[in-house]
Chains A and B, each alone.
Chain A
Amino acid sequence: MFLRRLLSTRLRRVVFALVLLVALLGFAGWYALFRVVPVYYASPEEHFKYGSIGVEVPAGIPYWIWVEMPKVFPDLLPNNGEGGYVSLGASWEDGKEMPIGFTKMTVGFPRVGVNCAGCHTTSVRTSTSDKPKFYLGGPSARFRAQDYLRFLFACAKDPRFNADTLMAKINNDYNLNIVDRILYRYIIIPQTKAQLIKTEQDSYYWMAERPDWGPGRTDMDPFKLLVLGLPDDHTVGSTDMMPVWNERASETYLRHSDGLNTTLVESVRSAALAAAATKKSIDIEGLDRVQQYLMDLPVPKYPFAVNEQLTARGREVFDRDCAVCHAPGSARIGKVIPLEELGTDPNRNRHWTPAAADAFNHYAPEKPWAFHNFQSTNGYTARSLEGLWLRAPYLHNGSVPSLVDLLKPPDERPKLFYRGHDVYDQENVGFVSFGPEAEKYGWKYDTVNVIGNGNWGHTWGTALSADDKKALTEYLKTL
């Protein structure tokens, strides 16, 4: 009845046909460009490594562009692209399509996003010719989050980022069907270029005037300027990545190097926003699974030989001089130690302002996951030292390459070293930070001339006897 009335006149029939056509085209366009096909990893570990936290919709890079970029623009990567994404410190497991921390998900077409594991997985080798061993939950010593972003932006701005060049490379590797070819050539490639250029201008404009993060570091600007959209206050807050294993043991501790939040759940969710998830796209369920996984993720043991006799002596030193701040259950662990007492580089602390904390607490009041526990503090937290051997370089800004160096008086600590090479230095307890290979594969860390990189302060233990230092260092390997 209804249909017959609808189609009763010629005009109506034409209008109906047009509406139907528009709807069909709309559906086809949505299907080809926007439909979301979630990927579910049954294993919590696989989910941590490759699962989505919600960045693919707003910030996913079209898969085939992502595959070809390192080959088209090797000159825009560290070491002229030797290693492709590995040159950016990506941890890539045998046989896996994506490096750890990179996701592949269909949003209309396959796109590549990032997740927690990119910055929170680290690697160790015994020599440069060796294959790395990966440690999930460890603070990445190699991953260059900033350089990955810069690489994407630099590619987009490069004249070689055009349909002819990219399609020629893609066609050399894969036989795209005719529809995908048209989509890539006329929509996806030009749109990606435009969007990346716009994203840099709108959301990452501040990166150009900040000191480089380098491998294994980040700052709070993605929180302040990308997520909250606060005005740029030009402060510098370069900080080391955090270990995220065994979170159950540190549930009551303050979060981040300055204790800017009191809860794990809020630090997990806010970090996802800083990784480019949006209010709309953030995958709360996926993040909850990650958080659950981190609760009991074991802390890796020191994989090399340890002198048991020395560790016993070292333990006594630790109990006497370190335990009050760093032993589980001690009075000060997980709490903020004021800057005046600590004496380390204050930049990161000043970088997270009361205004930023306040803004985050009012960020998404309408959401069930609204934030309430951000704060600004006057120091840095006393950290639990679990897996300390794997957390080099040391101090909140990663300014001291090894434990041996940390126990030296500040003016004897190295002023210049290279970080981001993952060959282990058993002698000094940290990563190899000097020599031609560290220079080639690492990144020059200047503690003197770069703001936020100061290696002073935290002088506890620096006055110990050489024997005590040796024993203490040996004991610290076992944590």
Chain B
Amino acid sequence: MSVADDMTPLDEALRKRRRRRIVVLAVIVYIVALYLAQLFNPNDPVVYRDIVDHFKYGSIGADNNANGIPYWIWKVLPEVFADKLPGEGYESLGFVSEGRDTPIGFSRRRVFVDRIGLNCSACHTGAVRDTPDSEPRVILGMPANTMDLQSYYRFLFACAADSRFTADNIMNAIARRTTLNPLERIAYRAAVYETRDQLMERGRAISIFMNKRPDWGPGRVDTFSPYKIVMLNWPDDGTTGTSDLPSLWNQRPRVDGELDLHWDGNNSSLDERNLSASMGAGTTPPTVDLDRLHRVRDWIMDLPPPAYPYQINHEIAAKGEIIYRKLCADCHAFGGSKVGRVTPVAAPELQTDRNRLDSYTYPLSANQNLFFAGYPWRFSHFRKTDGYTNMPLDGIWARAPYLHNGSVPTLADLLEEPQNRPKVFYRGYNVYDREKVGFVSTVAEENGRKFFKFDTSLIGNDNGGHTYGVKLTPDEKKTLVEYMKTL
């Protein structure tokens, strides 16, 4: 006999009503919870189905933690601190923009609030103009020739250190752009000071280090010093490791040939190279988005190097090819016996600036063995070398300026004796120089925008060495340069 059988009709009606009330309440709680979970999702990256969009705007995890800057704060910083930028918006730092919500190179992910982080394309997307009046061609995978990463960092640190970085100022600026709901407003107000403190903290050590070295300028970065200074908390060892950003295309033959990667060939594992670079963009071992990083990896494996967009004289190029085969291919063509191998910097014909090599020290390579400790992909391929690798030259026309420190503006200059190469030139201007093959490097300013004066006499900037080919006749050099446009 069940209990229900004893109920009066009134009891039963009351019970039904109680039940209904519970159901309604449960539905309301559920809807509110769903709304809150969506509003403050702890991990919700913006997803791009198209791989090209993913490369340009997708996340690799640099937005996946406190390194990610809350979206609306990031959006209004260029307005609140316009005086700290050389021009308007982040584009004035040389980031390439397609007119979308962010320039190429920034990803967005909700971690309670939306956050912005860097991705691969920030440093590996370039722009080329045919003439000062042309629209830029955006080339994915190209070394970011105009982007000044150091100035971006300095801008953020300077904002954080400024007394105007207050919740009121930031919230007012945000209110001019959008209407946040009350819950978001509370979250953002708290995030302002959290963001400021985090930027100050990060900025302190790295700024002291950066301010004692020659500026990177556009298209360059000191890859390994932050490892030592920030991640390992070491004192400044006095070395300078500034080097050019590399191209990202056509990785498959590099993997297949087991080529040594990085300028000094300190690692032969593509995945470790990628993880290491992602840390430079702001990921940490627990926050790196492996799946999305691997999506980029898979795509750059067969991303073709860009074809030279201007006319090539194939007759002349054919002559140059003969010289190239004889003089360069062994070290610089896929399949060459020395391609992707390290040439000692002391070799008589190499002797390029050794600062980058010496800044990657044995103790650093040893300590890198504990990066990603606990994960199956713990670093195990880093090693100290004694020189620089012989890089494959695919798409070399788009990789100017040349040498590991970007100290020689054009291919024609590189084939000159070191004393005849330009001692001072400008970087960051993206109009192409078809004569000398590289970017026009004599323009200091255009429409109020100043370019970066590269002084080869500064530490790490030496343009000597790599004297292969400098003894060729002017005609031979011309044919060789013509051929190199085809690579």
Q: Which residues of A contact B (CB under 8 A)?
A: 67, 70-72, 74, 79-87, 90, 92, 94-97, 99, 129-132, 171-175
Contacts and interface: CB of A to CB of B under 8 A. Distances in A.
Interface stretch (B157-165, B322-330, B371-379, B419-427): B371-379
A82 B284 contact: no
B362 interface: yes
Contact of B285 (A95, A96, A97, A173): A173
Contacts of B384: 130-131
B237 A172 contact: no
B370 A86 contact: no
Contact of A130 (B234, B362, B369, B378): B362
Which interface residue of A72, A85, A129 has the most chain B CB atoms within 10 A? A129
Contacts, number: 90
B383 interface: yes
Contact of B234 (A72, A82, A94): A82
29 contacts: A67-B373, A70-B232, A70-B367, A71-B232, A74-B233, A74-B234, A81-B233, A81-B234, A82-B228, A82-B363, A84-B234, A84-B366, A86-B362, A87-B363, A94-B365, A94-B369, A94-B383, A97-B378, A97-B380, A129-B358, A129-B361, A130-B362, A130-B384, A131-B365, A131-B383, A172-B284, A173-B284, A174-B373, A174-B375
B386 interface: yes
Contacts of A175: 285-286
Nearest to B384: A131
A66 to B, nearest CB: 10
A81 B235 contact: yes
Main secondary structure of the interface of B (DSSP, over half): loop
B369 A97 contact: yes
B235 A82 contact: yes
A340 to B, nearest CB: 46
B370 A174 contact: no
Contacts of A172: 284, 286
Contacts of B375: 174
Interface in B264-286: 284-286
Interface string B222-253: 00000010011111010000000000000000
B381 interface: yes
Contacts of B357: 129
Interface string B153-196: 00000000000000000000000000000000000000000000
A174 B361 contact: no
A171 B286 contact: yes
Contacts of B380: 95-97
Given A84-B363, A131-B362, A173-B285, A74 B235 contact: yes
A174 B369 contact: no
A95 B369 contact: yes
A174 B373 CA distance: 7
B382 interface: yes
A173 B367 contact: no
B367 A86 contact: yes
A90 B369 CA distance: 13
B417 to A, nearest CB: 27
A132 B385 CA distance: 11
A96 B233 contact: no
Contacts of A67: 370, 373
A84 B367 contact: yes
B169 to A, nearest CB: 29
Contacts of B233: 70-72, 74, 81
Contacts of B365: 94, 131
B101 to A, nearest CB: 30
A369 B227 CA distance: 48
Given A80-B235, A131-B362, A174 B367 contact: no
A71 B232 CA distance: 5
Nearest to B362: A131
Nearest to B358: A129
